[in-house]
Amino acid sequence: EEIPRPGRNPGNVLKQGFLEKRSRDPSFFGSEWHKRWCVLTQRSFSYFSSEKSKQPKGSFSIEGYSARLNSQLRKDSRKKSCFELLCPGKRGYEFTAPSAAEAQDWVEQIQFLLKDLSSLTIPCDEEEEEEEEEGGGSSDSMENSHNSSLNPEEPIPEAEGDDIYEVLPGE
């Protein structure tokens, strides 16, 4: 069974499911809330007519948006299941989840992504290694100087065939 993904590989889908989306321009006779299959990826939010649809009815980058629960969007029994996505200068989106817990989960997932997108630092293994080195051993020992290019007085060794091993003092 194929789940629609808007031009993305399956690994990028972080959350998906049915939500009701409030129509921007409700028709006179129609409902203002429409059931949509929604897909959240690392950078975008897309919504489809159905789970089988290939083409999204709409899609937008979540960067710059904020997500929050809003029980004022509906007056009926589902008001605690409502949330909205807002961005200054851009269109806002209003949704109703199947339950209050599900609405909370959508909001938390989106907020987590937004925090990740706004973060300027990218965690990497090198930072963890540096923290471990600073915690143990003396900082003035040769152990912490593992990159010869950091010390301008040391000559850079020339690459010569088999001579790839560093000669340590005292050997």
CATH number of 13-120: 2.30.29.30
Q: Are 128 and 135 in contact (CB under 8 A)?
A: no
Residue with tokens 């080195």: 133
Kindly report the three-state secondary structure assignment for every residue of 84-114.
EEECCCCCCEEEECCCHHHHHHHHHHHHHHH
Q: Is 87 left (phi over 0), alpha (psi -120 to 50) or beta?
A: beta
Q: What is the pLDDT of residues 125-149, one digit of tens each?
A: 554 445 545 554 444 444 444 444 4
Helix (H) or strand (E) holding 36: strand 33-41
What's the pLDDT score for residue 9? 44
Listed residue (36, 31, 34) closest to 51, CA to CA: 36
What's the pLDDT score for residue 33? 93
What's the pLDDT score for residue 137? 46
Q: Which two tokens stand for residue 139?
A: 């900082």
Successive 10-residue mean pLDDT values, the chain, 171 residues:
43 91 78 94 95 94 96 94 96 97 97 84 53 48 44 54 69 61
What's the pLDDT score for residue 166? 73
User: Using alpha carbons only, how large is the chain's radius of gyration in Å?
Assistant: 26
What's the pLDDT score for residue 116? 84
Interatomic CA distance for residues 86 and 117, integer angstroms: 16
Show me where the domains of the chain are located: 13-120
